[in-house]
């Protein structure tokens, strides 16, 4: 099958290209680019035209940090469902974390997982090996054999390596393999029994806190060890302003360090745990009891009827008061931090201190979340809302579009020391078509991921993945997208709305 | 008993005092005066809540709160059942929500929940069709304790307006302190917190949330001009967790002793939510001194809980009708 994607805004950070034109996909590769004035190929029954008017066409995204739960916790997610969710989110390559049962700590398990991914995966799956046997933090795994079996990095994600000598050896030993050690930086002695970020909200709610310092001291430790060993340290899901500052300083001093940040840490704060408590009157009127009644019907009935496409009035994005207090969907590790941390993380992305946006997609079953806040499993099902969240930053002017796309494509490739996915002629056609103005309301029941655990349920997002292609094959397509001419691109339609005053004059 | 229109209950759950207005608190306290009168009768029982089912769901050790709720419900002729985590399906791994649904299916109208995790009362309130009363959730809230403290203080001091109340002890982990802060400040009292920094947590939080509040590390200084002091229980785990060097040192600097009592304002009231660690946070002679209202707190607790049960049941009936 050949595809011609027409009238899209082609954004390719790897070539510093942003132009409107057409792309021809043939034999799984990017075959040709056309400018708007060029003559298009003749109509042909074998040529599928995809009209991308008003949309962005970008290289496929890479997610450095995904929990696929297979083997061992297939009730939470499988490689099949996780890769389908990835396709919906625009990710054409995802890296699977090894906190499975068994862990990805032997070549046999890694080969097995890669085989399943080849058989049933809709996108490319890379495997991150466990750094220590059984993720126990004591004995290094057979890293060289694991790299031979296909591992592209090592991590004990979720179980930080507490013994500094083990971390030192992991960083040193991995040097000969030239792969990163992805560190979940958390000193677990500083946050015993934690439920959320330690700050004003945890004080108010009486929940045990996870201080920013518990992340920062571990980042500082790992930086020192990376500097000593020359190993490549990759800091997972940075969540604190102090963490960003430490990484910035380490970069300036030549430490081999890269870092990622999650969409939720870039957009949500610990205020979300407070939910409707202290909601401004306009957001939720009446007593707490009445408010509880209001949202219980939203939760029970689903929100399908509220789903609309364009032309919704845009209020302030992302409203934490849609959630009841103590909603376990907000429990995540590291926890949602403060506004000051969010601003520092955005600044870190903008100035290149942080390389990549990675979802830390952590699907859980309902029973893991429908319980006491402090007992709830940590994690957010993030693949399908990642782009929408990242684009909230673009829409409010905090991040420019090219930079945002680069953090989803070039940045992760830099961490893995690979050639970034690209729209260069002759490269494998892994690409995404995004409608940046498409407004939609998140409904977790519509997720293809088994993990319905998202604090974004009911939130309005602007920007959506309309089509995802892996090696020239469509792996995700919004119903009917691109098959009929999009006569009025959304962007110009919005322009028309904004200019009504001028028309009248 | 009929209530004037301004006292008609509109509340469905009692989760904390942070969403109580001054008027609502006063309504509950005024109702409790009537309930206290009922308790003093020869036959201390009225048929008001006949047919209403109250279940005490206690996932954490408690003697006085559970018995207090039980007696309150019985004085109003409600059906009352006690459920404790020990010897129930919880031990077989049933979740809190499943247990709640079972109790709902069995006909429970009001659930009284005590749980060691913060936020559990809010969790049940999202799913239960009847009313929830929070009888203490983790370090978060203990609204009925705070209401009975307010009742006792108002009874003794006449008003809470501009009265100076000291709270001393493990404030960081205290649901009693949190709920009392909401209640006391709503009623116009001035608060001083007294504790070592390891038991205060983020001090800026207290000051930002209640700008008139004072934090003082010296108990002697805190008690100057105090109208009442609420002494909090010190859990021994705090010392084991390293928040305190020793219980001996804590007692030396933060216990309410008769020497500290004598140095304070003569009529200063002494409150304690119980159970007491005598010799640690409070001296035994202080606990039974003339200034101590600890036993009255317990008695008033029954009346205040009767008032809450009554208000919630009325609201449920009105909604049901």
pLDDT of residue A307: 34
Q: Do A287 and B201 make contact, defined as CB atoms within 8 angstroms?
A: no
Instruction: List, in order, residues 6 or more apart from A217 with CB less than 8 Å away.
Output: A187, A190
DSSP annotation of B175: H
pLDDT of residue A316: 55
Q: Where are the alpha helices (DSSP H) in B267-293?
A: 284-287
Domain B5-142+299-320 part of CATH 3.40.50.1370: yes
Backbone φ, ψ for residue A182 (5° rounding): -90, 115
**What is the 3-class SS of A9-40, one letter each residue?**
EEEEHHHCEEEEEEEEEECCEEEEEEECCCCC
pLDDT of residue A487: 55
pLDDT category at A496 given cuts 50, 70, 90 is very low
SS3 A263: helix
| CATH code of residue A133 | 3.20.20.140
Residues in A closer than 8 angstroms to B123, CB to CB, are: 326, 371-373
pLDDT category at A230 given cuts 50, 70, 90 is very high
Residue A412 counted as domain residue: yes
Q: Do B115 and A372 make contact, defined as CB atoms within 8 angstroms?
A: yes
Residue A43 counted as domain residue: no
pLDDT of residue B89: 62
Average pLDDT taken over every residue of chain B = 93
Check CB contact of B205 with chain A, cutoff 8 Å: yes
Check CB contact of B202 with chain A, cutoff 8 Å: yes
pLDDT category at A281 given cuts 50, 70, 90 is low
pLDDT of residue B7: 60
pLDDT of residue A280: 65
Picking from A244-253, A314-323, A369-378, which range would have the lowest pLDDT averaged per residue?
A314-323
Q: Above 70 in pLDDT, residue B321?
A: no
pLDDT of residue B284: 96
For residue range B21-76, list pLDDT tens digits in order. 999 999 999 999 999 999 999 999 999 999 999 999 999 988 889 999 999 999 99
Q: Which residue of B has its CA nearest to A196?
A: B118
Average pLDDT taken over every residue of chain A = 90
pLDDT of residue A1: 82
Which residue would you say has higher pLDDT here, B63 or A461?
A461
For residue range A351-364, list pLDDT tens digits in order. 999 999 999 999 99
Domain B143-297 part of CATH 3.40.225.10: no
For residue range A158-193, list pLDDT tens digits in order. 999 999 999 999 999 999 999 999 999 999 999 999
pLDDT of residue B240: 86
Question: Span A50-71, mean pLDDT?
Answer: 96
Q: Do B13 and A375 make contact, defined as CB atoms within 8 angstroms?
A: no
Q: Do B139 and A373 make contact, defined as CB atoms within 8 angstroms?
A: no
pLDDT of residue A482: 85
DSSP annotation of A403: H
Q: Above 60 in pLDDT, residue B202?
A: yes
Cα torsion for B165, B169, B172, B175, to the nearest 10°?
-70
Q: Do A372 and B119 make contact, defined as CB atoms within 8 angstroms?
A: yes
Residue A95 counted as domain residue: yes
Q: Do B95 and A371 make contact, defined as CB atoms within 8 angstroms?
A: yes
pLDDT category at A295 given cuts 50, 70, 90 is very low
Q: Which residue of A has its CA nearest to B12?
A: A289
pLDDT of residue A416: 97
pLDDT of residue B235: 87
Check CB contact of B34 with chain A, cutoff 8 Å: no
Q: Do B119 and A326 make contact, defined as CB atoms within 8 angstroms?
A: yes
pLDDT of residue B189: 98
For residue range A422-449, list pLDDT tens digits in order. 999 999 999 999 999 999 999 999 999 9
Select from A206, A208, A292 the Cβ nearest to the Cβ of B125: A292
pLDDT category at A314 given cuts 50, 70, 90 is very low
Q: Say what percent of chain B tops pLDDT 90.
A: 86
DSSP annotation of B14: B
Q: Above 60 in pLDDT, residue A488?
A: no
pLDDT of residue B318: 78
Which residue would you say has higher pLDDT here, B111 or A286?
B111
Question: Span A34-55, mean pLDDT?
Answer: 89
Q: Above 70 in pLDDT, residue A75?
A: yes
* Rounded distance between C-alpha atoms, residue A164 and residue A186, angstroms: 12
Q: Do B209 and A204 make contact, defined as CB atoms within 8 angstroms?
A: yes
DSSP annotation of A221: H
Check CB contact of B196 with chain A, cutoff 8 Å: no
Check CB contact of A326 with chain B, cutoff 8 Å: yes
Check CB contact of B201 with chain A, cutoff 8 Å: yes
Tell me what ipTM this predicted complex has. 0.93
Provide the residue range defining the domain that includes A364: 59-276+326-422
Q: Above 80 in pLDDT, residue A490?
A: no
Q: Above 60 in pLDDT, residue A202?
A: yes
What pairs with residue A8 in β-bridges? A21
Check CB contact of A340 with chain B, cutoff 8 Å: no
Report the greatest alpha carbon distance in chain B: 59
Chain B nearest C-alpha distance from A237 (Å): 25
Instruction: Tell me how many domains chain A contains.
Output: 1
| Assigned token pair, A308 | 């609309």
Check CB contact of B140 with chain A, cutoff 8 Å: yes
Q: Above 90 in pLDDT, residue B237?
A: no
Residue A64 counted as domain residue: yes
Residue A338 exposure: Cα atoms within 13 Å on the Cβ side: 12
Q: Above 50 in pLDDT, residue B191?
A: yes
Portion 176-235 of A in contact with B at CB < 8 A: 192, 195, 198-200, 203-209
pLDDT of residue B142: 98
pLDDT of residue A279: 75
Residues in A closer than 8 angstroms to B125, CB to CB, are: 289, 292, 324
Q: Do B118 and A204 make contact, defined as CB atoms within 8 angstroms?
A: no
Check CB contact of B101 with chain A, cutoff 8 Å: no
* Domain parsing of chain B, residue ranges: 5-142+299-320, 143-297
DSSP per position, B29-71: HHHHHHHHHHHTSSS----TTTT-EEEEEESS--SHHHHHHHH
Chain B nearest C-alpha distance from A364 (Å): 16
pLDDT category at A296 given cuts 50, 70, 90 is very low
* Rounded distance between C-alpha atoms, residue B66 and residue B52, angstroms: 18
Chain B nearest C-alpha distance from A384 (Å): 26
Residue A484 counted as domain residue: no
pLDDT of residue A45: 87
């Amino acid at each position: 099958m050949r595809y011609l994607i027409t009238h899209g805004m082609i954004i390719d950070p790897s070539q510093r290209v942003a132009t409107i034109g057409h792309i021809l996909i043939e034999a799984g590769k990017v075959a040709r680019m056309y400018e708007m004035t060029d003559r298009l190929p003749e109509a042909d029954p074998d040529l599928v035209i995809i009209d991308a008017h008003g949309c962005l066409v970008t290289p496929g995204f890479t997610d450095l940090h995904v929990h696929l739960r297979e083997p061992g916790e297939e009730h939470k997610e499988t490689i099949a469902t996780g890769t389908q969710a990835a396709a919906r989110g625009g990710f054409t390559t995802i890296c699977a974390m090894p906190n499975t049962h068994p862990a990805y700590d032997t070549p046999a398990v890694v080969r097995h997982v890669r085989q399943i991914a080849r058989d049933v995966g809709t996108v490319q799956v890379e495997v991150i090996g466990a750094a220590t046997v059984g993720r126990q933090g004591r004995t290094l795994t057979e890293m060289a054999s694991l790299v031979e079996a296909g591992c592209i990095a090592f991590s004990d994600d979720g179980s930080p390596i507490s013994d500094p000598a083990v971390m030192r050896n992991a960083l040193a030993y991995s040097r000969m393999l030239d792969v990163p050690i992805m560190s979940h930086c958390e000193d677990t002695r500083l946050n015993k029994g934690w439920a959320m970020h330690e700050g004003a909200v945890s004080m108010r709610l009486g929940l045990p806190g996870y201080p920013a310092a518990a992340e920062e001291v571990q980042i500082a430790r790992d930086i020192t060890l990376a500097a000593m060993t020359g190993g490549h340290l990759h800091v997972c899901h940075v969540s604190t302003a102090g963490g960003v500052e430490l990484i910035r300083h380490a970069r300036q001093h030549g430490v081999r360090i890269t870092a990622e940040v999650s969409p939720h840490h870039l957009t949500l704060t610990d205020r979300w745990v407070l939910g409707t408590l202290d909601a401004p009157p306009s957001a939720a009127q009446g007593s707490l009891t009445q408010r509880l009644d209001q949202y219980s019907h939203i939760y029970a009935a689903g929100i399908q009827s509220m789903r609309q496409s364009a032309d919704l009035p845009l209020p302030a994005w992302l409203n934490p008061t849609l959630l009841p207090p103590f909603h376990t969907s907000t429990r995540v590790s590291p926890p949602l931090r403060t506004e000051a941390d969010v601003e520092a993380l955005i600044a870190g992305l903008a100035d290149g201190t942080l390389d990549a946006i990675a979802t830390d997609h952590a699907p859980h079953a309902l029973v893991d979340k429908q319980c006491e806040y402090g007992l709830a499993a940590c994690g957010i099902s993030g693949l399908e809302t990642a782009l929408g969240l990242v684009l909230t930053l673009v829409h409010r002017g905090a991040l420019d579009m090219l930079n945002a796309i680069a953090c989803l494509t070039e940045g992760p490739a830099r961490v893995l020391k690979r050639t970034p996915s690209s729209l260069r002629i002759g490269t494998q056609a892994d690409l995404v078509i995004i409608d940046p103005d498409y407004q939609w309301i998140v409904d977790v029941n519509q997720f293809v991921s088994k993990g319905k655990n998202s604090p974004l349920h009911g939130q309005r997002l602007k920007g959506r993945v309309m089509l995802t292609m892996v090696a020239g094959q469509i792996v995700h397509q919004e119903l009917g997208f691109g098959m009929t001419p999009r006569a009025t691109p959304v962007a110009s339609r919005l322009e028309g709305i904004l200019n009504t005053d001028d028309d009248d004059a | 008993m009929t209530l004037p229109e301004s006292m008609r209950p509109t509340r469905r759950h009692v989760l904390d005092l942070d969403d109580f207005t001054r008027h609502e608190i006063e309504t509950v306290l005024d109702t409790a005066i009537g309930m206290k009168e009922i308790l003093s009768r020869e036959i201390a029982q009225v048929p008001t809540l006949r047919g209403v089912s109250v279940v005490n769901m206690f996932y954490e050790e408690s003697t006085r709160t559970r018995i207090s709720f039980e007696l309150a419900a019985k004085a109003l002729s409600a059906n009352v059942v006690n459920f404790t985590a020990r010897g129930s399906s919880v031990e077989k791994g049933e979740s809190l929500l499943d247990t709640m649904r079972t109790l709902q299916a069995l006909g429970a109208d009001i659930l009284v929940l005590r749980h060691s995790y913060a936020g559990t009362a809010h969790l049940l309130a999202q799913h239960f069709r009847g009313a929830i009363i929070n009888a203490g959730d983790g370090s978060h809230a203990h609204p009925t304790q705070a209401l009975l403290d307010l009742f006792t203080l108002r009874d003794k001091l006449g008003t809470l307006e501009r009265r100076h109340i000291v709270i001393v002890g493990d404030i960081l982990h205290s649901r009693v302190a949190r709920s009392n802060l909401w209640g006391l400040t709503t009623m116009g009292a001035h608060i001083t917190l007294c504790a070592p920094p390891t038991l205060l947590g983020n001090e800026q939080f207290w000051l930002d949330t209640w700008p008139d509040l004072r934090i003082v590390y010296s108990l002697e200084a805190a008690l100057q001009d105090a109208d009442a002091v609420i002494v909090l229980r010190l859990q021994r785990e705090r010392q084991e967790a390293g928040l305190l060097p020793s219980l001996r040192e804590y007692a030396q600097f933060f216990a309410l002793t008769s020497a500290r009592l004598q140095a304070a304002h003569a009529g200063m009231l002494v409150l304690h939510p119980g159970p007491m660690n005598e010799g640690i946070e409070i001296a035994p002679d202080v606990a039974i001194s003339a200034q101590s209202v600890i036993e009255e707190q317990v008695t008033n607790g029954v009346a205040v809980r009767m008032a809450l049960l009554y208000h919630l049941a009325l609201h449920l009936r009105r909604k049901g009708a």
